[in-house]
Structure 1
Amino acid sequence: MESTGVIARQKLTEKQHAIYAFIKQEITEHRLSPTVREIANRFGIRSSNGVMCHLRALERKGWIKRDYYLSRGITLVAEPVTQFLTLTPGEAGCLGDVYVGCVGVEDRSVTLEFIAPDTMGEVQKDL
């Protein structure tokens, strides 16, 4: 089996985790990442350099990516997750836009393992 080159995320400090959660919430609710100033105001950080230190740490640890030319240039790095789906003959399931079916197997179930970014959602069984 080949390595996918995915680097595991490093653990965050409490403050970094709170900032990451805020960024994730803002992107989820408003479809835009917060600005450095918005992060500073939310956490009572007085200087933009203080926020930049936290953002650099989040990026170095593999939780975000940044476009330095945009004021709202923070994107979340999708975490690979493993999900399992058991299908019996004639059943199908999907993960995002990927559909799978159980054909050519008689009287047995098949368990599939999906490793995909957490942004693809949950594996669903089509009935």
Structure 2
Amino acid sequence: HCDNAVTVAAWLSNHPKIAWVSYPGLPSDNNNALQKKYSPLGAGAVFTFGLKGGYAAGIAFVEALELFSHLANVGDTKSLVIHPASTTHRQLSDEQKVAAGAGPATVRLSVGIEDVNDIVADLE
């Protein structure tokens, strides 16, 4: 999980359609030192990122994926994706979504144990 997640997070952080990636396993993340101290074996498999293009881009992105399952649970061995603004947090106002970390462009991944090349190909 952790190896796949850091590979995917690094790939996303260099993608031109991605605005930001929040994953403590990345050296550029503000919490990287804490992650190394408290979780030396890896930062886990769940992280968020923001798509350029906002709400509509988030919905289109999730709908285009084939390998990822569109589910709200996390921690499975298969790769999962959710666009919180249009699903789990849809009842909130835009301001409340942003305050909860579920802004219009936010996507949450739970990276699984599939071949990392297949995971990246699906995200592309």
TM-score class, shorter-chain normalisation, is under 0.3
Q: Which has the higher strand share?
A: 1
Q: Structure 2 length normalisation: TM-score?
A: 0.24
Q: Structure 1 length normalisation: TM-score?
A: 0.24
Higher RCO (CA-CA < 8 Å; seq separation 6+)? 2
